[in-house]
């Protein structure tokens, strides 16, 4: 499936956001291979996803108690205008994920994890049963590729003093694994603040090298992903 869902979640504007720069590079390369028809962009900061609320939880609980309900039947189970609204907000976001062969997520590290804007999107799309085939019980995302482009102001790689502070990659990996995704690519740009935070100035060269490696990888992965989807 040659569709790309591109999600950005950095509060930083263009020119200041490393994750946005890198995902834009990935998307541009991908579109060179496939054109624009299969490309979908969602900026969860510019267009925030509403937080889930009691009506969402009530409808989700009712659906979950019935087992795996076909997505097309969920609207019929809404018992109030509030529940209808919650499902109307949710279903298009779920559809975007299901339609994507590749989901590209750009995320900075905020307080050792992901931005609230991205978490709101995650909470909204994780409606009970929507990524499960009601007939077989198998994941509908088993063939979906997930590419995470993560920018971190400090260094959190293996062997670094703050390796144990990284709750960004482990959270996203376990979240998507729980949905049945097995095809992951994580691209990290570390020490992105080394050039402008005095305490990190000694690490500027490492930060520049990490960014250059990430910039090369997004192009390689976008091109490689295109070949993989064409062949598979």
Per-residue pLDDT tens over the stretch 41-83: 999 999 999 999 999 999 999 999 999 999 999 999 999 999 9
The yes-or-no verdict on residue 225 having pLDDT over 50 is: no
Does some domain include residue 30? yes
Does some domain include residue 41? yes
Domain residue limits at 213: 4-52+92-231
Does some domain include residue 157? yes
Does some domain include residue 100? yes
160 annotated binding-site participant? no
139 annotated binding-site participant? no
Distance between CA atoms of 83 and 88, rounded to whole angstroms?
A: 9
Q: Which positions ≥6 away from 231 have C-beta within 8 Å?
A: none
Does some domain include residue 58? no
pTM (predicted TM-score) = 0.92
Per-residue pLDDT tens over the stretch 122-141: 999 999 999 999 999 999 99
Does some domain include residue 59? no
Does some domain include residue 216? yes
18 annotated binding-site participant? yes
| Domain total in the chain | 1
pLDDT at 15: 81
80 annotated binding-site participant? no
CATH of the domain at 197: 3.40.50.360
Query: Which contacts (CB < 8 Å, 24+ apart) does range 94-98 have?
Result: 94/125, 94/127, 94/130, 94/131, 96/5, 96/40, 96/42, 97/5, 97/125, 97/131, 97/141, 97/144, 98/130, 98/131, 98/140, 98/141
First-residue to last-residue Cα distance in the chain: 8
10 annotated binding-site participant? yes
17 annotated binding-site participant? yes
109 annotated binding-site participant? yes
pLDDT-based confidence at residue 19 (cuts at 50, 70, 90): very high
Does some domain include residue 203? yes
210 annotated binding-site participant? no
pLDDT at 140: 98
């Amino acid at each position: 499936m040659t569709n790309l869902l591109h999600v950005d979640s950095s509060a930083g504007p263009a020119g200041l956001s490393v994750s946005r720069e890198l995902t834009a590079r990935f998307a541009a390369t991908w579109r060179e291979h496939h054109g624009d028809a299969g490309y979908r962009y969602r900026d969860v900061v510019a267009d925030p996803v509403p937080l889930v609320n009691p009506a969402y939880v009530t409808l989700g609980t009712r659906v979950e108690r019935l087992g795996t309900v076909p997505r097309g039947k969920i609207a019929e189970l809404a018992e109030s205008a509030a529940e209808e609204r919650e499902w109307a907000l949710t279903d298009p976001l779920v559809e975007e994920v299901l339609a994507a062969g590749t989901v590209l997520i750009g995320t900075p590290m905020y307080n050792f994890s992901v931005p609230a804007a991205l978490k709101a999107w995650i909470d909204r799309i994780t409606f009970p049963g929507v990524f499960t085939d009601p007939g077989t019980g198998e994941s509908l995302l088993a063939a979906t590729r997930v590419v995470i482009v993560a920018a971190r102001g400090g260094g959190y790689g293996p062997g670094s003093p703050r390796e144990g502070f990284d709750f960004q990659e482990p959270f996203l990996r376990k979240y998507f694994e729980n949905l049945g995704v097995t095809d992951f690519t994580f691209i990290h740009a570390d020490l992105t603040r080394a050039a402008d935070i005095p305490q990190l100035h000694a690490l500027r060269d490492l930060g520049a090298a990490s960014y250059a490696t990430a910039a090369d990888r997004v192009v390689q992965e976008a091109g490689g992903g295109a070949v993989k989807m064409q062949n598979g």
